C-alpha cells in the first residue's frame, strides 16, 4: 500500500517496519529441557479470522528446530512462507504461548506504532503485494525478515493511530457480523433443498394438485404396465432367455406417502440396472471419453478431467452398457449416491464405479433422480453400502431399494415444482455470493482509507482546532530512536584465551568454534608499541552452514550480499560490518565445498536442498573427514555430526536411513570397520 500512496497527511511520515519495532533475540528451549513451552507455528494460525487457534506444546528437549522466537502478548506474527495466504495474527492475552517459529517475522512494537496498527497494516493488499514478489523458492516460496522489516509503513501521530485502530475495529466488527450472516446462508439453503426433496418424495409438495386432479392411470395400474413392458422388451430382445421377474422392494424404510401412491423397488420401475465395464481398456490421448464418479458433479455429467479410450475399445465395452438419453447415473464406489441424467447426444464409456438405471417408458427420469437425491434415500444408500474402507453400493442392493411411485402426471408436476424452487435457491445463492464479495471489497476499502489518512480526523487539523501542540510522527520516531540508543548496553569485548582442546570428532572437522560469535582483541605485549587492536569474529561453522541452507529456501536464488545480511540478522548482529563480511565469506567457500550452496556469479542457490541429493561418494568422503584413526565412534553420534557438518539442524529419520547404507558401503570398501553401533576408521 505504501507504494501506491503518493502523499501523506500532514504530521505523518514514512518509516520502515524496523523503525517501529524492536529486535527480539532468538531463544534456545533446549537449554531448559524439562520446561513445557507453548508454541505457535504457521499452521496454528487461521487465515480467515487472523487468530491463533491451534497452540502446540512440548518440552524443551523435544523442541522443533524452528521453535526459537520468544513471544509475548501484543506481538504481531507475519508468516514469511507463501505470504499471499496472509497467515497473520496478533498474540492476545489469552494465548499461553512462549515461542513461535522462525518462519514468522516477529513484529514487537517499540512504542512508535501501536501493535494493532502494525497488525492491520500488514493485512493490506498493498503490503502483501510488496513482499510477495520478493519471495524465493519455487516449492517453498518464502520471504525473509530483512524484506519484511525493510518495508515502508505510513506512520501517523500516536493519538491518530489510536483513533484509526478504534475505527477500523469498529467497522470490521460490523463487516465480520455481516460475513457471518452470509456464511450461514449456504447451510440454510442446503437444509431447504433437503426439505424440498423430502416434501416431493412424501407427496406434501403436491397435496393441492391431488385435491384438484384425478390421474388417468393409478399407480397400481402404472406398475402393472411397467412390468408388462419389461417382459415385452426381454422377450423381443432375448427370446432364448428366461424372463427374470424384477426384484421386490425391501420395505426397510417406507416413505411417508399419501394413500394415492404405492411403494415399488428401483428394479420394478427400470428396464435394467447395471454398471460400467469392470475391465476398462487402455487410456489414450484422445477418443471416447471415459467417465468415473468424479465426473458426476452437481446433478450433471462433466467431461472435466476425464480420460479417453479408443473407438475400437469402445466397441467392446458398449456391449455391457451403451449410454442412452434419460438414463440415470448413480455413483456406487467411494463417493456414493451422486446422480445425473444423461442428456441427448452424449457418448462415453462408463467406469465400474457408475451404476446405471434405465427407466421404463412411463417413468419420468428426473423424478427418479430427485427421489434418489432425497435425504431418506441417501441415508439408505449409506446403510446398504456397509462400513468397509471404500464404500460400495452393490447392484443387488440398489435394485431392491424402496421407491415411491405416484401417477405419471403427478411425477411431472413434482419435477416442475422442484425445479422452480431450486431456481429460487440458486438465485439466492448467487446474490449471497455477490454480497460476500462486496463485503470482502469493503474490508479492503476500509484499510485503504485508514492508511491513507482518510478514515478519521487528522491529528494536525484537530490540534489546530483545539489550539494545542502535538507530536508529529517524525518527532515521535526521533524520540523513540534516541530512547533506544540511550538504553543500549555498551558491548564488552572479551580477550581470547588459550584454545580448549578439541574432542576427536570436532578436531577432525577442523572448524569447531564457540557456539556464538565473540568479539575480542589481540593480546598485546606491555612494552611494545603496536597498531590499535582490530576486532575478530569467530562463528560456529555448523551454525553458519545451517543458516546458509535455511536462508536459501529450498531451490530459491539469492544474491551473496542478501544472503550474508540474512545470516547476520539470524546471528543477532545489527549490521553486516566489513569484519563480519570477511569472516562469513570464508564460511561461504566452505558451504560451496560441502555442496550446500552453488554459485552462479554473484547469485547463490541451494545445491542440495535435501540430504538424499548428496551422492554416495561424497557422503563416504565426509564420513572419513569427521572420523580420526585410532578412535571408536557411536554411529548415531557420527550421523548427527555429518548432518550438522552439511548444515542440517537435526539428523532426521531419512538422514539416519541414508547413513545406514553409507556405513555399509564404506565397510564393504574397507574404509571403516564396525561392530554393532561402534565404527572406526581404518583408511
HSE (side-chain half, CA atoms, 13 Å) at 149: 20
Give the cell for residue 382.
449409506
d(CA 566, CA 143): 11
pLDDT at 240: 85
d(CA 544, CA 626): 18
Of 669, 625, 550, the C-alpha closest to 65 is 550
Query: What average pLDDT does this structure show over 235-246?
Result: 87
pLDDT at 299: 92
Query: What average pLDDT does this structure show over 91-109?
Result: 94
pLDDT at 624: 83
pLDDT at 474: 94
HSE (side-chain half, CA atoms, 13 Å) at 136: 20
Of the pLDDT bands very low, low, confident and very high (cuts 50, 70, 90), residue 6 is low
Q: Which ranges constitute the DSSP H helices of 488-634?
A: 504-509, 541-551, 560-570, 578-593, 616-625
**Separation in Å, CA 172 to CA 146, 446, 559:** 30, 8, 41
Report DSSP state, residue 502: P
**Weakest mean pLDDT among 101-110, 296-305, 627-636:** 627-636
In percent, the amount of the chain with pLDDT more than 70 equals 90
pLDDT at 521: 36
Question: Does position 506 have pLDDT exceeding 70, yes or no?
Answer: no
Query: What average pLDDT does this structure show over 189-214?
Result: 93
pTM over 0.75: no
Question: Does position 189 have pLDDT exceeding 50, yes or no?
Answer: yes
In percent, the amount of the chain with pLDDT more than 90 equals 60
In contact, 74 and 115? CB cutoff 8 Å: yes
d(CA 136, CA 144): 9
Q: Which residues contact 223 (CB under 8 A, 6 or more apart)?
A: 262, 264, 268, 269, 405
Query: What average pLDDT does this structure show over 476-496?
Result: 75
Instruction: Report which of residues 378 and 536 the model is more confident about.
Output: 378
Question: Does position 254 have pLDDT exceeding 90, yes or no?
Answer: no
pLDDT at 198: 94
Sign of the four-CA dihedral 321, 322, 328, 333: positive
In contact, 354 and 336? CB cutoff 8 Å: no
Average pLDDT over all residues of the chain: 87
Q: What are phi and psi of 15, to 5 degrees?
A: -145, 160
Residue 560: CB atoms within 10 Å:
17
Question: Does position 301 have pLDDT exceeding 90, yes or no?
Answer: yes
**Weakest mean pLDDT among 284-293, 397-406, 604-613:** 604-613
Percentages (nearest 5) of helix, strand, coil residues in the chain: 45, 20, 40
Of the pLDDT bands very low, low, confident and very high (cuts 50, 70, 90), residue 523 is very low
310-348 per-position pLDDT tens digit: 999 999 999 899 999 999 999 999 889 999 999 998 899
d(CA 572, CA 24): 9
Instruction: Report which of residues 415 and 505 the model is more confident about.
Output: 415
380-419 per-position pLDDT tens digit: 998 888 766 678 899 999 999 999 999 999 999 999 999 9
In contact, 349 and 287? CB cutoff 8 Å: no
d(CA 552, CA 560): 10
Count how many residues are written for the chain. Answer: 683
* DSSP-derived secondary structure for 390-408: S-B--HHHHHTSEEEE--H
Amino acid at each position: 500500500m505504501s507504494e501506491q500512496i503518493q502523499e501523506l497527511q500532514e504530521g505523518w511520515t514514512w518509516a520502515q517496519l524496523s523503525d517501529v519495532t524492536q529486535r527480539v533475540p532468538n531463544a534456545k528451549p533446549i537449554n531448559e529441557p524439562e520446561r513445557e513451552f507453548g508454541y505457535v507455528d504457521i499452521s496454528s494460525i487461521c487465515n480467515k479470522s487472523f487468530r491463533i487457534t491451534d497452540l502446540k506444546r512440548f518440552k524443551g528437549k523435544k523442541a522443533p528446530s524452528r521453535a526459537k522466537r520468544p513471544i509475548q502478548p501484543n506481538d504481531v506474527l507475519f508468516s514469511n512462507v507463501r505470504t499471499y495466504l496472509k497467515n497473520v495474527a496478533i498474540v492476545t492475552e489469552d494465548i499461553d504461548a512462549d515461542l513461535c517459529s522462525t518462519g514468522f517475522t516477529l513484529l514487537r512494537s517499540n512504542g512508535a506504532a501501536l501493535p494493532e496498527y502494525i497488525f492491520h497494516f500488514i493485512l493490506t493488499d498493498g503490503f502483501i503485494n510488496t513482499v510477495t514478489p520478493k519471495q524465493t523458492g519455487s516449492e517453498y516460496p518464502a520471504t525473509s525478515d530483512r524484506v519484511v522489516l525493510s518495508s515502508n509503513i505510513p506512520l501517523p501521530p500516536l493519538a491518530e493511530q489510536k483513533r484509526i485502530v478504534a475505527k477500523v475495529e469498529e467497522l470490521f466488527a460490523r463487516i465480520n457480523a455481516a460475513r457471518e450472516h452470509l456464511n450461514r446462508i449456504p447451510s440454510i439453503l442446503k437444509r431447504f433443498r433437503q426439505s424440498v426433496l423430502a416434501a416431493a418424495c412424501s407427496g406434501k409438495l403436491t397435496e393441492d394438485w391431488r385435491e384438484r386432479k384425478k390421474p388417468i392411470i393409478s399407480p397400481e395400474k402404472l406398475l402393472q404396465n411397467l412390468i408388462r413392458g419389461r417382459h415385452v422388451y426381454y422377450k423381443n430382445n432375448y427370446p432364448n432367455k428366461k424372463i427374470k421377474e424384477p426384484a421386490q422392494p425391501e420395505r426397510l424404510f417406507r416413505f411417508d406417502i399419501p394413500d394415492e401412491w404405492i411403494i415399488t423397488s428401483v428394479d420394478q420401475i427400470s428396464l435394467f440396472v447395471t454398471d460400467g465395464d469392470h475391465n476398462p481398456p487402455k487410456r489414450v490421448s484422445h477418443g471416447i471419453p471415459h467417465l468415473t464418479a468424479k465426473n458426476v458433479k452437481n446433478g450433471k455429467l462433466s467431461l472435466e478431467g476425464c480420460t479417453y479410450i479408443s473407438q475400437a475399445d469402445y466397441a467392446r465395452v458398449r456391449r455391457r452398457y451403451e449410454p442412452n438419453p434419460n438414463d440415470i447415473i448413480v455413483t456406487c464406489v467411494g463417493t456414493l449416491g451422486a446422480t445425473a441424467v444423461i442428456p441427448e447426444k452424449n457418448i462415453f464409456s462408463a467406469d465400474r464405479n457408475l451404476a446405471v438405471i434405465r427407466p421404463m417408458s412411463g417413468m419420468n427420469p428426473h423424478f427418479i433422480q430427485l427421489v434418489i437425491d432425497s435425504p431418506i434415500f441417501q441415508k439408505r444408500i449409506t446403510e446398504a453400502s456397509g462400513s468397509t474402507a471404500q464404500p460400495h453400493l452393490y447392484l443387488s442392493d440398489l435394485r431392491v431399494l424402496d421407491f415411491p411411485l405416484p401417477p405419471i402426471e403427478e411425477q411431472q408436476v413434482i419435477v416442475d415444482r422442484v425445479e422452480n424452487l431450486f431456481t429460487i435457491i440458486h438465485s439466492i445463492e448467487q446474490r449471497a455470493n455477490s454480497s460476500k464479495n462486496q463485503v470482502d471489497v469493503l474490508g479492503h476499502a476500509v484499510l485503504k482509507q485508514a492508511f491513507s489518512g482518510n478514515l478519521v480526523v487528522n491529528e494536525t487539523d484537530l490540534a489546530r482546532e483545539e489550539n494545542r501542540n502535538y507530536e508529529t510522527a517524525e518527532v515521535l520516531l526521533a524520540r523513540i530512536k534516541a530512547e533506544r540508543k540511550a538504553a543500549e548496553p555498551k558491548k564488552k569485548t572479551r580477550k581470547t584465551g588459550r584454545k580448549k582442546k578439541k574432542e576427536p570428532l570436532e578436531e577432525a572437522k577442523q572448524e569447531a568454534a564457540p557456539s556464538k560469535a565473540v568479539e575480542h582483541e589481540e593480546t598485546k605485549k606491555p612494552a611494545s608499541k603496536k597498531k590499535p587492536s582490530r576486532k575478530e569474529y569467530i562463528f560456529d561453522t555448523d551454525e553458519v552452514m545451517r543458516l546458509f541452507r535455511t536462508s536459501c529456501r529450498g531451490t530459491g536464488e539469492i544474491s551473496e550480499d542478501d544472503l550474508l545480511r540474512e545470516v547476520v540478522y539470524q546471528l543477532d548482529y545489527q549490521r553486516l560490518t566489513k569484519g563480519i563480511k570477511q569472516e562469513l565469506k570464508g564460511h561461504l567457500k566452505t558451504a560451496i565445498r560441502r555442496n550446500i550452496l552453488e554459485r552462479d556469479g554473484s547469485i547463490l542457490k541451494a545445491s542440495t536442498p535435501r540430504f538424499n541429493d548428496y551422492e554416495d561418494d561424497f557422503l563416504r568422503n565426509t564420513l572419513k573427514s569427521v572420523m580420526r584413526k585410532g578412535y571408536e565412534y557411536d554411529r548415531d553420534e557420527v550421523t548427527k555430526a555429518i548432518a550438522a557438518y552439511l548444515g542440517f539442524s537435526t539428523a532426521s529419520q531419512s538422514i539416519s536411513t541414508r547413513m545406514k547404507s553409507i556405513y555399509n558401503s564404506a565397510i564393504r570398501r574397507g574404509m571403516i570397520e564396525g561392530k554393532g553401533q561402534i565404527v572406526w576408521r581404518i583408511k
